[in-house]
Structure 1
């Protein structure tokens, strides 16, 4: 049995009904759990002697709105974490979908892996995903007065407001976006021997 198959067997045995989906694809293992089980499973993944995922190395939000230019069936927002076990030398992708699209929310895993702190703040800032139990959930990349969550697929590409320095008022001001959308047609090169091809 390969190392990844061993990990898969341990996950199935130790997590049992908490496993919503467990998928092995392209040499990577993805575990999906329900939002209600997320924090409990995170603790088991860290503490169980057969699993020992000591490190959370990444956490991000995902917006499945119009996923692959198709209508997505299911919850819109997902939190994806990448875990590492140094002692066992294996990795795992952990996914949890937010039960509500209007107010996406899951438990914070900062009590389990404190490295999740800024990652969860980033997912909140860019996707609007709330993390219940996070001690300091506030924006981390956008400005304090920023409106909306820019990585959501329905966020306008030009944004809502822009800021600039006003010399008369001697301060930064906010105003509605003044960018006019335009369509640019790329120039087409029609040389017979372009690039040395004949």
Structure 2
């Protein structure tokens, strides 16, 4: 039998109490926001507690909130977050867990690989694309970009055209890197809406 989001919210409040930074239901899915210091303990409880049993980690990704107009859940000034999507087969329900990195210059959160081994490549992807470090990860290295890649391409301050381009050089008979030769261009015009757009 499927557990209703309202029931899940009640259980989460009872289990975690003051450790919850934010708890809400959107589109029939519950979002739990917790602090970095409670992250590992909360995740272990979510998996192991008999009344929760979130046995499966479906997905984990990074988020860059730079330039975000609306304050994400009352955490003013926090730029990088990690979001995990969990599934409880026992209670047929899903949960979204968000944790914010404290330091924008060197964002980091604890690794959950020891809790859900499937987090391994997800965390490597978030490190590669956003530069989020995962403390305790057994093999934190790039997974999608090249070893010599500079920067993290999903960060909002990463230039659209990148820093370098690669091509095959006939004379050297290998792939070479060179500075970007394309002209920056705006493909889609930027639309600026006022704060009340869509609310009236």
TM over 0.5: yes
RMSD of aligned alpha carbons = 1.8
Matched, 1:65 2:76: no
Q: 2:144 aligns with which of 138, 141, 146?
A: 141
> Could you tell me how far 1:183 is from its partner in structure 2?
5.2
Task: Please give the TM-score of this superposition, normalised by the length of structure 1.
Answer: 0.88
Residues 32 and 143 of structure 1, relative CA distance in 2, 3 Å threshold = same
**Range 14-23 or range 177-186, more displaced:** 177-186
CA contact (8 A) 1:65 1:71 kept: no
Residues 153 and 16 of structure 1, relative CA distance in 2, 3 Å threshold = same
Which segments of 5 or more consecutive residues in structure 2 lack a partner in the other structure?
190-200
Partner Cα separation in structure 1 for residue 176 and residue 134 of structure 2:
31
Residues 164 and 56 of structure 1, relative CA distance in 2, 3 Å threshold = same
> Could you tell me how far 1:86 is from its partner in structure 2?
0.3
**Range 118-127 or range 2-11, more displaced:** 2-11
> Could you tell me how far 1:41 is from its partner in structure 2?
0.4
Q: Secondary structure at the match of 1:15?
A: helix
> Could you tell me how far 1:182 is from its partner in structure 2?
3.8
How many residues were matched structurally? 184
Larger Rg, first or second structure (1 or 2): 1
> Could you tell me how far 1:184 is from its partner in structure 2?
6.6
Q: Secondary structure at the match of 1:117?
A: helix
Q: Secondary structure at the match of 2:12?
A: helix
- Corresponding residue for residue 194 of structure 2: none
Matched, 1:87 2:87: no
- Corresponding residue for residue 33 of structure 1: 34
- Corresponding residue for residue 47 of structure 1: 48
Partner Cα separation in structure 1 for residue 36 and residue 139 of structure 2:
21
Partner Cα separation in structure 2 for residue 83 and residue 22 of structure 1:
15
Task: Please give the TM-score of this superposition, normalised by the length of structure 2.
Answer: 0.87
Partner Cα separation in structure 2 for residue 87 and residue 183 of structure 1:
49
> Could you tell me how far 1:121 is from its partner in structure 2?
0.5
